[in-house]
């Protein structure tokens, strides 16, 4: 897990007027280098696009494309309609902030050190110069009052999106160090229900939802997030936008290669029985509340736990959900496809099935 928890402290204490230290604003953990998560939390591609388009004409020249991407060869790739200029949509279709980070990370160690950070810091400085620091805030701020209400934040960000965007090491949990940057040891111990030294997404969701995260950031208890209370939420929003833009469709599931998952593709790849068997770690035929909350909301758990004993048996799960309805649950925008971060939970359940099948086949052989 990357430095997601750090956003709740570092983004809140960063000052937009400290122009002489734009690198310091981005360097959330203060280690003198920029991780991918730190960069993706600092600005979105749209902020970078608007900042680099100095003439504001809505198109990029070869020089402007180079200023954004540091790639002298990519202009003709981005110019999909071959009109000699690159529109904003062509930029969005052809690159993203994660790719820009990867190009600058010349030694491929996952960090931008020294000169590697120059391009990203230049773009971030342009964001300041052109007054775009609050651009992402304004995307959340539906009524335009420069304050973030709880409804505005909950409409813009879900806990599932936070988990999917923050899980850069695919472990589905926060470490003790990451939690204690923001919360005290007592809170960590409360969240770490099984005392395994980390807080799984299910453990987190059992105690906190996005409303609780909002309340944590509303330091003065006013019912609104003002600057600087807004900054950690904006950082998480940026991370979600950037990771989502770069989130690939899994080729084992995306059989038609269209970059998204249809219900038929998911239903052809797995059955509910496979999901249950592969993810039942202790083979007891049931799941704990924490297990269920790693993938479902509290309300869904209550529906599944028909007898109220705190566990969901295979039979209870079958009575409430199948692969088709699980697909619908993940399809947050209801467009009939899983795109971007909507695919996260399906992929997270799919690979244990492959491992389970392989292990059992190998054992039989």
The residues spanned by each domain of the chain are 17-132, 137-246, 261-364
Start-end of H helices in 167-250? 176-182, 185-191, 201-207, 210-217, 231-246
Distances (CA, A) of 36 to 1, 61, 101, 236, 304: 12, 27, 7, 13, 38
Out of 6-15, 129-138, 339-348, 353-362, least confident range = 6-15
How does DSSP assign 95-163, residue by residue?
--HHHHHHHH-TT-SSEE-GGGGHHHHHHHHHHHHTT-TTHHHHHH-TT-SS-EEHHHHHHH--HHHHH
> pLDDT band at 4, cuts 50/70/90?
very low
Under the phi-then-psi rule, with left for phi > 0, alpha for psi from -120 to 50, and beta for the rest, what region is 41? alpha
Phi, psi of 223 (to 5 degrees): 90, 0
Can you give the pLDDT at residue 177? 67
For the entire predicted model, the pTM comes to 0.89
> pLDDT band at 187, cuts 50/70/90?
confident
Can you give the pLDDT at residue 20? 42
Average pLDDT score over residue span 320-328: 97
d(CA 173, CA 271): 25
Percentage of residues in the chain with pLDDT exceeding 90?
74
d(CA 163, CA 205): 10
Residue 221 burial by Cβ neighbours in a 10 Å radius (0-12, 13-18, 19+): exposed
Can you give the pLDDT at residue 286? 97
What's the fold here for domain 261-364?
Recoverin; domain 1 (1.10.238)
Angle between helices 231-246 and 45-52 (to 10 degrees): 90
Under the phi-then-psi rule, with left for phi > 0, alpha for psi from -120 to 50, and beta for the rest, what region is 30? left
d(CA 301, CA 303): 5
């Amino acid at each position: 897990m990357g430095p997601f928890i750090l956003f709740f402290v570092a983004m809140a204490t960063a000052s937009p007027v400290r122009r002489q230290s734009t690198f310091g604003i981005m360097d959330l953990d203060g280690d003198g280098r920029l991780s991918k998560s730190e960069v993706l939390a600092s600005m979105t591609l749209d902020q970078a696009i608007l900042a680099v388009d100095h003439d504001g004409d809505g198109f990029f020249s070869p020089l402007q494309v180079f200023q954004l991407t540091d790639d002298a060869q990519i202009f003709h790739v981005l110019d999909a309609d071959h009109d000699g200029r690159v529109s904003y949509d062509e930029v969005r279709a052809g690159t993203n902030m994660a790719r820009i980070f990867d190009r600058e990370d010349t030694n491929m160690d996952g960090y931008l050190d020294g000169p590697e950070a120059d391009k990203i810091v230049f773009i971030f400085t342009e964001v300041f110069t052109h007054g775009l620091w609050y651009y992402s805030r304004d995307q959340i701020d539906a009524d335009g009052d420069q304050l973030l209400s709880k409804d505005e934040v909950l409409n813009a960000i879900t806990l599932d999106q936070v988990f999917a965007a923050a899980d850069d090491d695919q472990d589905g949990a926060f470490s003790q160090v990451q939690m204690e940057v923001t919360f005290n040891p007592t809170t960590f111990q409360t969240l770490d229900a099984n005392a395994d030294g980390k807080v799984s997404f299910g453990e987190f969701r059992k105690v906190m939802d996005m409303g609780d995260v909002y309340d944590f950031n509303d330091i003065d208890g006013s019912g609104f997030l003002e600057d600087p209370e807004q900054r950690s939420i904006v950082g998480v929003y940026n991370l979600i936008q950037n990771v989502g833009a770069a989130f690939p469709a899994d080729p084992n599931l995306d059989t038609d290669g269209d970059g998204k998952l249809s219900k038929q593709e998911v239903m052809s790849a797995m059955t509910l029985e496979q999901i249950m068997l592969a993810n039942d770690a202790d083979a007891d035929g049931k799941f704990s509340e924490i297990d269920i909350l790693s993938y479902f909301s509290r309300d869904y758990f209550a529906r599944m736990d028909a007898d109220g004993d705190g566990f969901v048996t295979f039979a209870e799960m079958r009575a409430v959900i199948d692969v088709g309805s699980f697909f619908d649950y993940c399809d947050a925008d209801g467009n009939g496809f899983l795109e971007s971060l909507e695919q996260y939970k399906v992929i997270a359940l799919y690979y244990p099935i492959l491992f389970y099948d392989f292990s059992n086949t190998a054992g039989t052989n």
